[in-house]
């Protein structure tokens, strides 16, 4: 696979261009990206609010995941020209198109929790 394709994220694995599941997994890879997208579905959010909603994520990792999602065109970053300045994250149109995927994951997870509780 050539790295000349500008649409291929760095670290994308073989089959990214042709396999729909691999393409989706490349965008949603990692523990935090689906959760970040899920938290941004209702409304835009500032960095510290996202960090509060995602206990366990470090500031460094959240920053890296947001940058990666921004590079993939899933998240938009808007710098607010106020004093003090702050940054707001929201889902792009591409990011919003992932809503059915996350809703399917939520439904599957609800059924899993209901039918196979952890004792």
- DSSP code of 119? -
Residue matched to tokens 């947001």: 66
Full-model pTM: 0.83
> What pLDDT, on a 0 to 100 scale, did the predictor assign at position 18?
85
Pick from 101, 38, 35, 32: nearest CA to 65:
32
Instruction: Give just the sign of the alpha carbon dihedral 87, 92, 105, 67.
Output: negative
Model confidence pLDDT, tens digit, residues 13-39: 677 778 898 889 889 998 999 999 999
């Amino acid at each position: 696979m050539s790295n000349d394709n500008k649409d291929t994220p760095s670290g994308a694995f073989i089959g990214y261009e042709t396999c729909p599941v691999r393409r989706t997994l490349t965008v949603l890879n990692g523990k935090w990206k689906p959760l970040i997208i899920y938290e941004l579905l209702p409304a835009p959010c500032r960095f510290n609010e996202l960090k509060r909603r995602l206990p366990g994520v470090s500031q460094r990792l959240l920053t890296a995941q947001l940058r990666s999602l921004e590079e993939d065109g899933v998240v938009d970053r808007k710098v607010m020209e106020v004093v003090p300045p702050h940054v707001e994250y929201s889902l792009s149109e591409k990011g919003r198109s992932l809503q059915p995927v996350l809703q399917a994951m939520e439904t599957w997870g609800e059924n899993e929790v209901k039918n196979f509780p952890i004792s």
